[in-house]
């Protein structure tokens, strides 16, 4: 069965998008990403170390941009201006690459997004020709506004970044999914495989995660678990679950042909 | 001339220095990077043709792990 994720006219087999931060080393990063089956991977844009890393390997040596779709992010940006500036540098860095992840944070403790700055940055970036996948709060009105601005995917949090608290408000996510005409991906908050399955069963088009894999006891094993959970959740969503009933007068075994 | 690179001031003896020459001087040739000069991106194709001036502020960035 062909069931591809489509974002900005490009299709992907994997509905699991992963971050590349917080790993022990690049070898572990690579092994975990391979086990996850992810095709889209996020990267951060940071100042290059000058004069102390001439021969040092870089992330790009382990994850060649030819092999993956890079999704440069604006992690750590607290204003629309900083986010736009960061992504313009990313576009230059990645030879005109247009697909980006926008996130503008509002608070260093919770990493909760600042949606006023996010909306402003999204407008500028869309006008500037970027394909914007946008991290956002789980407010259905904001999600709709981001779609109307022209973002190619809306990515509400399931719970706070790095918290691993799971899907805290499935009802809001469901409203966002039902109203959206662009893909909705859960970004942030997934802690373990069942969280990923629940998000996919709600009808999310995909999930973006980093810490749930990188901070697991065995990141490579967890990456494989997440791959399966996303696939299982997606298939369950497509299959359509049975209705919930408090009890059933319909046993699974025949009621006739009993002995005696 | 004095140039601020990634927030740190550095002095260079040369009176004329292009972005390409600076990249060479900093041993960054062949690295995937993007450069912003005084808030404006310098496209890679313009490194040779872009001269630096005393007081310039440069940001030199690359891709690192992140979520």
ipTM above 0.90, yes or no: yes
Interface contact flag, B60 A50, Cβ < 8 Å: yes
d(C-alpha A128, C-alpha A258), whole Å: 72
Residues 6+ apart with CB under 8 A from A207: A15, A16, A17, A185, A186, A187, A190, A196, A199, A200, A226, A230
Give the DSSP letter of residue A209: E
How is chain A split among helix, strand and coil, in percent rounded to 5? 35, 20, 45
Q: How close, in Å, is residue A176 to chain B by CA atoms?
A: 23
The enclosing H or E element of A171 equals helix A170-179
Instruction: With beta carbons less than 8 A apart as the criterion, state whether A167 and A208 touch.
Output: no
Which pair of structure tokens corresponds to residue B19? Answer: 């972005």
B11 close to A (CB below 8 A) = no
- Rounded to whole angstroms, the Cα distance separating A59 from A99 reads 19
| Residues on chain A bordering chain B, Cβ-to-Cβ distance under 8 angstroms | 18-23, 29, 42-48, 50-51, 54, 58-60, 70, 72-73, 75, 85, 88-90, 92-94, 161, 208-211, 214
pLDDT tens digits along A68-126:
999 999 999 999 999 999 999 999 999 999 999 999 999 999 999 999 999 999 999 99
Could you tell me the pLDDT band of residue A251, with boundaries at 50, 70 and 90?
A: confident
Tokens of A169: 């408000």
CB A209 within 8 A of CB A226: yes
Distance CA B19, CA A89 (A): 16
Segment holding A219, helix H or strand E: helix A219-239
Residue A45, pLDDT above cutoff 70: yes
pLDDT along chain B (67 residues), means of 10: 94 90 91 94 95 95 91
Distance CA A135, CA A112 (A): 10
Task: Report chain B residues whose CB lies below 8 A from the CB of A23.
Answer: 65
Cβ contact A93–B61 (<8 Å): yes
Cβ contacts below 8 Å, chain A against chain B, sum to 98
The Cα A209–Cα A189 span in angstroms is: 8
> Per-residue pLDDT tens for A10-28?
999 999 999 999 999 999 9
List the beta bridge partners of residue A187: A208
Please name every residue paired with B57 in a beta bridge, in sequence order, or none if there are none: B4
Which residue in chain B has the smallest CA separation from A89? B34
| CA distance linking residue A54 with residue A259, whole number of Å | 82
Mind telling me the catalytic residues of A?
101
Shortest Cα distance from B48 to chain A (angstroms)? Answer: 16
Instruction: Count CB atoms within 10 A of the CB of residue B43.
Output: 12
Percent of chain A with pLDDT over 70: 98
What is the pTM (predicted TM-score) of this model?
0.92
């Amino acid at each position: 069965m062909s069931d591809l994720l489509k974002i900005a006219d490009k299709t992907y087999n994997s509905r699991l998008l992963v971050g590349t931060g917080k790993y022990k080393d690049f070898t572990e990063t690579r092994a975990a990403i391979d086990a996850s089956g992810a095709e889209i991977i996020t990267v951060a844009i940071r100042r290059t170390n000058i004069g102390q890393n001439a021969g040092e390997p870089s992330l790009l040596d382990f994850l060649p941009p030819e092999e993956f779709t890079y999704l440069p992010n604006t992690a750590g940006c607290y204003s629309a201006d900083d986010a736009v500036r960061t992504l313009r540098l990313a576009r230059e860095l990645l030879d005109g690459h247009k697909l980006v992840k926008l996130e503008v944070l509002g608070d260093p403790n919770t990493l909760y997004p600042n949606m006023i700055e996010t909306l402003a940055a999204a407008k500028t970036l869309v006008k500037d020709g970027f394909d914007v996948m946008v991290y956002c709060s789980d407010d259905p009105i904001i999600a709709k506004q981001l779609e109307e601005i022209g973002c190619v995917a809306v990515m509400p949090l399931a719970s706070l970044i790095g918290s691993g608290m799971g899907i805290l408000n499935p009802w809001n996510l469901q409203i966002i999914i039902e109203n959206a005409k662009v893909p909705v991906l859960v970004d942030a908050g997934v802690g373990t495989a069942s969280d990923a399955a629940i998000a996919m069963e709600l009808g999310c088009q995909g999930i973006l995660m980093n810490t749930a894999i990188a901070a697991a006891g065995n990141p490579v094993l967890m990456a494989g678990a997440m791959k399966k959970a996303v696939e299982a959740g997606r298939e369950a969503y497509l299959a359509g679950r049975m209705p919930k009933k408090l009890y059933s007068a319909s046993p699974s075994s025949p009621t006739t042909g009993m002995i005696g | 001339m004095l140039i601020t690179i990634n927030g740190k001031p550095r002095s260079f003896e040369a009176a004329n220095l292009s972005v390409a020459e600076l990249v060479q001087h900093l041993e960054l040739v062949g690295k995937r990077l993007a450069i912003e000069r005084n808030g404006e991106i310098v496209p890679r194709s313009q490194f040779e043709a872009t001269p630096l001036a005393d007081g310039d502020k440069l940001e030199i960035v690359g891709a690192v792990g992140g979520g």
